[in-house]
Chain A
Amino acid sequence: MPVSARAFIERALEHLPVLRRVGRRLTGSAAEADDLVQETLARALEQRGALRETERLKAWLLAVQRTVYLNSRRGLRPHLEVLEGGLGRALPPEPSADLEAELHARTLSAEMKAALDSLAPEWRDTLWLREVEELSYEEIAQVQGCPVGTVRSRLARARLAMLDFLEKEKVHGSL
């Protein structure tokens, strides 16, 4: 017997920040990320019976989010958004407080962003899930749908590439 919808959503709310952070990396926009998060939780709610007791909710939700995202990209149902952005309607502007925080973050860490952007997307995601979201290798493998060995090698390579990039930037900066 799965937990009640209410109880499930209450537990899931705790993971909104993670889903949103990762969603923003997947979609590249805050508004789309929010739609993705809502869609993810709607799917998760339906499928909550499939969550094993030993599984961490965070990793499971991230795996659901990835599936929802990929399906929406492939044009499969369910659609992420009714129609916005699809038929010539501009996305709603982001709230200004959000924008401010974002600008702040952007200037603070333009270098880190550039370094992350220089990585292959799978490497970048793997690194992010490990370092920021603190998922285990097994959880990352589940989220990304790849073997644990792949996670391991991606992380090693992503770290080296990031450090190389940042090092070079530093040299340029000081010249």
Chain B
Amino acid sequence: MEACSPQWQERLSAWFDGEVQAHEQQAVAHHLSRCAGCAREAARYASLRQALRAEGAAEPRVPPELAERVTRLAPRPRPFFPRRRLAAGLAAVLASVGVLWTSWPSGMNEALAMDLERHHLKAFSRVDPCEFESSDPAEVKAWVEREVGYPVDVPVVPGATLLGARRCRLHGKLSASLLYRHEEGKAMTLFLPLPGSAAAQEAARFAGDGPRCTQGPVGERICVLPSGGERAALAVSELEPAVLLAALARLSP
């Protein structure tokens, strides 16, 4: 192969990366020992590598907030009970009050469940979770309705503080979300998709006749309250489903 041809350059470059066969390896090494031009070329590759690595090392360090956001993707370990027993116990308690509980996978549309959990986790991983901040339901309602273009109900939830609201996308459609923080500091998001939208339909289909709760794929709890037709409201949190259902129950029917 002729030196300086593109094929030769490629071979030299691959040799430099240790990505050639053993016999090629020897051939290139032999050539380099006799050819000053190619030896110089290989040395240039080495200094380029060094410069690029310095460039990589000069990149800003990973901010702790990002590590925190990522860590929150994994469900928190629940140390007191083995998971299955907890889930079974929970299912029994909820069944006694007429609520269906299922662990993941639960039959809820996976894309929808992921959207819900992501919006919830992402919002609360920020320093300022809300786009619009206010603890006044009337103010929040006015902002949300202006932004999403359909009427919403902003409930007062006992034991929780209204933080404000965010717009989000569920199944690609602009949708309202309300953010609350409970007394122990636990975060909760209420999602109020446009009635008749794909997300509302999916949620209503999942819930069937009554309220229904599930664990999402990432590990948060998701409760759905259908309100007839293609309407439904959803709550997402690490809190017990009973707390989520109590919050959803504050919405006017």
Q: Which residues of A contact B (CB under 8 A)?
A: 4-6, 8-10, 12-13, 16-17, 20-21, 24, 30, 34-35, 37-39, 41-42, 45-46, 77-79, 81-83, 87, 89, 95, 97-98, 101-102, 104-105, 108-109, 112-113, 116, 127-128, 130-133, 136-137, 152-153, 155-157, 159-160, 162-163, 166
Contact = CB atoms under 8 A, between A and B. Distances in A.
B74 A5 contact: yes
A16 B62 contact: yes
B17 A109 contact: no
A87 B118 contact: no
B60 A101 contact: yes
Residue in B9, B52, B71, B218 with the greatest tally of chain A CB atoms within 10 Å: B52
Contacts of B17: 130, 137, 155
A95 B74 CA distance: 25
Interface stretch (B41-49, B178-186, B225-233, B235-243): B41-49
B interface, over-half SS:
helix
A109 B168 contact: no
B97 interface: no
B136 interface: no
B162 to A, nearest CB: 19
Contacts of B44: 163
A163 B48 contact: yes
Contacts of A112: 51-52, 55
Interface residues of B, number: 52
Contacts, number: 148
B48 A162 contact: yes
Interface string B64-89: 01110111011101000000000000
B122 A82 contact: yes
27 contacts: A17-B62, A21-B56, A21-B59, A34-B69, A41-B73, A45-B73, A45-B74, A78-B114, A79-B169, A82-B166, A82-B168, A83-B169, A87-B167, A98-B61, A101-B58, A109-B51, A109-B58, A112-B55, A127-B52, A128-B52, A132-B52, A152-B14, A153-B6, A157-B9, A159-B13, A159-B45, A159-B48
